[in-house]
Amino acid sequence: MATLSDVARRAGVSPATASRVINGSSKPVTDELRERVLAAVAELQYVPNAHAQLLARSHRSAVGVIVHDVSDPYFAEITRGLQRVATDQGRLLMICNSYRDPDRELEYVELLRGHQVAALILAGSGYHDEAFTRQLNEKLAAYEATGGRVAVIGRHEHSGDAVMPDNRAGGYLAGRELCGLGHRAIGVIAGPRILTTTTDRLAGLRQALTEQGRELPERRIRYAEFDRDGGAEATARLLDADPELTAVVALNDSMAIGALATLRARGLAVPQQISVLGFDDMPIARDVTPALTTVRLPLVHMGVRAMSLVLGVGAPTPRVEVLPAELVRRDTAGPVPHSTRATAGSAPRARRGGTAS
Using the rule CB under 7 A, which residue among 10, 40, 41, 46 binds DNA? Answer: 46
Using the rule CB under 7 A, which residue among 35, 42, 43, 55 binds DNA? Answer: 55
State the binding string over 206-245 for a copy of itself (x if CB under 8 A, else -).
----------------------x-----------------
d(CA 280, CA 325): 9
Does residue 111 touch a copy of itself according to CB under 8 A?
yes
Using the rule CB under 7 A, which residue among 3, 61, 212, 340 binds DNA? Answer: 3
d(CA 265, CA 9): 72
Q: Which stretch binds a copy of itself (CB under 8 A): 25-33, 176-184, 260-268, 341-349?
A: 260-268
Secondary structure class of 183 (helix, strand, coil) = coil
Residue 132 and residue 195 in contact, taking contact as beta carbons nearer than 8 Å: no
Does residue 350 touch a copy of itself according to CB under 8 A?
no
- Determine phi and psi for 244, rounding to 5 degrees: -90, 10
Each residue of 104-132: b (16+ CB within 10 Å) or e?
Answer: ebbebbeebbeebbbbbbbbbbbbeeeeb
d(CA 15, CA 19): 6
Q: Mention every residue, 6+ apart, whose C-beta is less than 8 A from residue 273.
A: 246, 337, 341
Q: Closest approach of Cβ 331 to a copy of itself, in Å? A: 11
Of 13 and 238, nearer to DNA (C-beta) is 13
Secondary structure class of 308 (helix, strand, coil) = helix
The binder of 262, among DNA, a copy of itself, none, by C-beta within 5 to 8 A per type, is none
The binder of 28, among DNA, a copy of itself, none, by C-beta within 5 to 8 A per type, is DNA
d(CA 118, CA 113): 9
Does residue 113 touch a copy of itself according to CB under 8 A?
yes
Instruction: Provide long-range contacts, Cβ within 8 A and 24+ apart, for 28-34.
Output: none
- Determine phi and psi for 120, rounding to 5 degrees: -135, 130
Using the rule CB under 8 A, which residue among 7, 17, 19, 83 binds a copy of itself? Answer: 83
- What residues make contact with DNA under the rule CB under 7 A? 1, 3-5, 12-17, 19-20, 22-23, 25, 27-30, 32-33, 46, 48-49, 52-53, 55-58
- What residues make contact with a copy of itself under the rule CB under 8 A? 1-2, 45, 47-55, 70-71, 73, 76-77, 79-80, 83, 92, 94-95, 97, 110-111, 113-116, 138-139, 142, 146-147, 228, 257, 260-261, 264, 283-284, 286-289
